[in-house]
Amino acid sequence: MSPTPTTIKQYDQQAPTREETETATFALGCFWGPDGRFGALDGVIRTRVGYAGGSKVDPTYHDLGEHTEAFQVDYDPTERSYRDLLDLAVRSHDLNRQSSNVQYQNILFVSTPEQAETVEGYLDARGLGRDGIETRIEQLSRFHLAEDYHQKHSLRAKRAILDAFEDAGYDAADVRESPAAAKLNGRAAGRDLPDGHTFAAPNRTVHRG
Active site residues: 30
- Output the 3-class SS for the chain: CCCCHHHHHHHHHHCCCHHHCEEEEEEECCCHHHHHHHHCCCCEEEEEEEEECCCCCCCECCECCCCEEEEEEEECCCCCCHHHHHHHHHHCCCCCCCCCCHHHCEEEEECCHHHHHHHHHHHHHCCCCHHHCCCEEEECCCCEECCHHHCCCCHHHCHHHHHHHHHCCCCHHHHHCCHHHHHHHHHHCCCCCCCCCCCCCCCCCCCCC
